[in-house]
Amino acid sequence: MRRPIVHGVWRGTLRSDFRRDDKTSLEIPIVFVIRQTYLTISIESFTKSQEGESKLEALIQNGRTEATRLCYVFELRKQYQGENKLTTGAGDLRLINNSKQLKGYYWTNSPTYGELQLELISRECGGVDCFEEAERKWPPIPFA
């Protein structure tokens, strides 16, 4: 059916405009677990301190440019420390580099926004239900 495959475990970095007390922006390791069937897509996101889940997903292909985008609405299950509200948001990621990378932006109602860069690390999603499990199965390669 010529539908791109995004199923798999993706690891990368979330860069947020949220500022810490020392005024530096956040750069957080993140893992996406994308489960794709012929008719459905679901996205779970994991960092060391927060988990998210998609509520609405769309894989959009532009036939004229051959660009593919993964767009989604998400909800963060864990509330931010010191806040008593539910965080929701949306993401818009472009599938690039021979379908091995996702790159794009997200926005939340907290209100924050930022950039996501993810690389495919495995097509096998089974058993990956938290950040620590992904790190255990596929340890990050240390810089030399």
Out of 9-23, 26-40, 70-84, least confident range? 70-84
Domains, in order of start, for the chain? 8-136 (2.40.128)
**pLDDT, tens only, 97-123:** 999 999 999 999 988 899 999 999 999
3-class secondary structure, 118: strand
- What is the arithmetic mean of pLDDT over 48-59? 94
- What is the arithmetic mean of pLDDT over 24-52? 93
pLDDT of residue 137: 95
Q: Judge whether residue 79 has pLDDT over 60.
A: no
Spatial separation of the C-alpha atoms in residues 53 and 63, rounded to whole Å: 29
